[in-house]
């Protein structure tokens, strides 16, 4: 026979809400962003929309293993330009883990740290279609596949066939590079529409890219 106390406890348990748990879905677009331009923004936004991600984080490198450091401006400027570029898009955020860690960053090491910090998050690592063929050269690739889902952005002239687990996303491709933009700034040419206006203004105000290509 149930006592009044037993009945009270049963009633309380029946009224407790059932909590649902949904893992956060986050895209990562890494790069030097020297400077960030509209092609970066289109890729981040369109991949996020296509895959229904909760957010896409643009992750500037402090020192990339694959980039000539002599051509890279201070991380403070690159971070500020990203913040200016994404300020009106609630889907896009900035991820500063590689700036905080400093030194050369390999994707595997970065993602181990992010997964450890955010165990309730699934990560989608975004790369250009031209980079898929180079995946075999990536540091600790097989282990990296256990940490992230790779997303390949289709690019004209590059096949979409691979034995690796890659989700392909079809996005209008802009043949635009940070190197070309730096060259134009140094030569005194217009970079209108290649970059958000607020980023162009920041480059002018800070006198960036005038002494290096």
Sorted by where each begins, the domain ranges of the chain are 22-173
Buried b (16+ CB within 10 A) or exposed e, 22-46: eeebbbbbbbbbbbbbebbbbbbbb
pLDDT tens, 33-84? 999 999 999 999 999 999 999 999 999 999 755 555 556 899 999 999 999 9
The CA distance from 2 to 148, in Å, is 52
* Confidence (pTM): 0.87
- Rounded to whole angstroms, how far apart are CA atoms 125 and 113? 14
Residue 18 has pLDDT above 90, yes or no: no
What's the pLDDT band for 6 if we cut at 50, 70, 90? very low
- Those residues whose C-beta lies under 8 Å from the C-beta of residue 127, and which sit 6 or more positions away, are 150, 151, 152, 153
- d(CA 200, CA 85) in angstroms, rounded, equals 10
CA–CA gap between residue 13 and residue 82 (Å, rounded): 49
Choose between 2 and 107: higher pLDDT: 107
CA angle (115 as vertex; 110, 120 as ends), nearest 5: 155
Give the pLDDT score at 103. Answer: 85
Q: What is the pLDDT of residue 17?
A: 45
pLDDT tens digits, 157-169? 898 889 999 999 9
Q: What is the pLDDT of residue 105?
A: 86
Q: Which tens digits make up the pLDDT trace of 87-132?
A: 999 999 999 999 999 888 899 999 999 999 999 999 999 999 999 9
Please name the CATH architecture into which domain 22-173 falls.
3-Layer(aba) Sandwich (3.40)
> Above 80 in pLDDT, residue 7?
no
Q: What are phi and psi of 8, to 5 degrees?
A: -65, -45
Q: Are strands 24-31 and 121-128 parallel, antiparallel or unpaired?
A: parallel
């Amino acid at each position: 026979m149930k006592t009044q106390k037993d009945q009270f406890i049963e009633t309380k348990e029946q009224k407790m809400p059932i909590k649902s748990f949904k893992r956060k879905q986050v895209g990562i677009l890494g790069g030097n962003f020297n400077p960030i331009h509209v092609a970066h923004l289109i890729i981040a936004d369109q991949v996020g929309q296509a895959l229904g991600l909760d957010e896409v984080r643009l992750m500037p490198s402090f020192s990339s293993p694959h980039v000539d450091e002599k051509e890279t401006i201070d991380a403070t400027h690159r971070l500020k330009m990203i913040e200016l570029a994404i300020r009106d898009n609630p889907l896009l955020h900035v991820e500063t883990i590689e700036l905080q860690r400093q030194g050369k960053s390999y994707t595997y090491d970065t993602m181990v740290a992010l997964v450890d910090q955010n165990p309730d998050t699934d990560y989608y690592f975004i790369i250009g279609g031209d980079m898929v063929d180079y995946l075999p050269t990536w540091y600790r690739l097989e282990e990296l596949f256990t940490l992230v889902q790779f997303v390949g952005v289709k690019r004209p002239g590059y096949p979409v066939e691979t034995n690796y687990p890659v989700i392909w996303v079809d996005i209008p491709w802009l043949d635009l590079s940070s190197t070309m933009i730096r060259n134009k700034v140094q030569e005194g040419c217009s970079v209108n529409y290649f970059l958000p206006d607020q980023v162009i203004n920041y480059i002018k105000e800070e006198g960036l890219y005038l002494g290096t290509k």
